[in-house]
Amino acid sequence: MLPKETEHLDVTILIVDDDPSIIVTTSKALNGLGKIIFATNGPDALMLAETKLPDVILLDAEMPDMDGFEVCTHLKQKAETAHIPIIFITSHTGSDFEMKVFDAGASDYINKPLNPRVVLARASLQLNYKRALERLEYLSLTDSLTGLYNRRAFDTKLALEFTRAQRAGTPIALLMLDIDEFKQYNDHFGHVMGDACIQQTASALLETIQRSTDFVARYGGEEFAIVLPDTDLEGAKYFAESTLNHILNLNIKHAPTAQRSNVTLSIGYASLTPSLEDLYKSLLKIADSALYKAKENGRACIYTSL
């Protein structure tokens, strides 16, 4: 399922300082900007950052036992937290300290004593910047017509799920789907209606998936792909049959020159329990070959070449 863009109301801000008065002052300055959580030491900060995944962290540079620079280094070394903007809170000044802050991977710093307006402005700036980056990432992974994952996102996610299946020793299934005789549909109804047909199909395919780990992508043109982690061949067959019937039940009228009166799909499906030597492209090749066979066998059917 396509990830949602960050909403303003979902913002979480982590404040880390061993001085409770600084936490209170900072919280008041950021009131209304998002949900505030806090920690008074480095280990607790790391635990909260890794479990809550805040949108921005305001971090005291000077704390006993584990200072802010150690916390920052730990966070930047982990993929889950490396993207979180960090703003240091410090009493230090000078160009040497400024370089130390940015070398550690922090996005900004605020000097003590704290000015509430500066705190709010700096935190808002980092949140807006983070939202802009997330928006760009979202668009780069999204098919603009259907809102599904695009081919780039599909390749990345299939490789990731394939690797997970290798490590866990579990099966992974792939369905390749194609709208039958789409050229005839486009030629008869026009490109605007053709786009609408693709959108209807995409929405219907999204309705078929039941788990958060399953995902649908527009593979290209009128072709789609569905990845089903932890699904064997029998499960993939059942899913393919259900998907085929779901599209039929839409009763989308096809072009008069088409073989069938309503729009149908051809579906090729495959499932593998990959060894560590296998590549995800092998699963893609098998499913794509099965799709070709489904179209050869008269379309509007499912097929596996396994």
Q: Which of 5, 222, 241, 296 is catalytic?
A: 222
**Within this chain, do residues 92 and 205 fall inside the same structural domain, yes or no?**
no
**Within this chain, do residues 252 and 277 fall inside the same structural domain, yes or no?**
yes
Q: How far is CA 146 from the centre of its chain?
A: 16
pLDDT in tens, 21-66: 999 999 999 999 999 999 999 999 999 999 999 999 999 999 998 9
Using an 8 Å Cβ cutoff, are 86 and 78 in contact? no
Domain boundary (140, 159, 185) is at 140
What lies within 8 Å, CB to CB, of 259 at 6+ separation is 180, 181, 299
What lies within 8 Å, CB to CB, of 105 at 6+ separation is 72, 73, 75, 76, 82, 86
The whole domain housing 170 covers 151-303
174 vs 75, 155, 162, 271, CA distance in Å? Answer: 35, 12, 10, 6
**Within this chain, do residues 79 and 207 fall inside the same structural domain, yes or no?**
no
Q: Quick check: is 207 catalytic?
A: no
**Within this chain, do residues 136 and 172 fall inside the same structural domain, yes or no?**
no
**Within this chain, do residues 132 and 244 fall inside the same structural domain, yes or no?**
no
pLDDT in tens, 183-236: 999 999 999 999 999 999 999 999 999 899 999 999 999 999 999 999 999 999
pLDDT in tens, 281-299: 999 999 999 999 999 999 9
State the Cα–Cα distance between residues 43 and 49, nearest whole angstrom: 10
How many domains does the structure of the chain reveal? Answer: 2
Domain boundary (140, 164, 185) is at 140
pLDDT of residue 9: 54
* Dihedral in degrees, nearest 10, Cα atoms 98, 99, 104, 109: 20
Closest by CA position to 13, among listed 165, 117, 119, 102: 119
Identify the CATH number of the domain in which residue 225 sits: 3.30.70.270
**Within this chain, do residues 298 and 156 fall inside the same structural domain, yes or no?**
yes
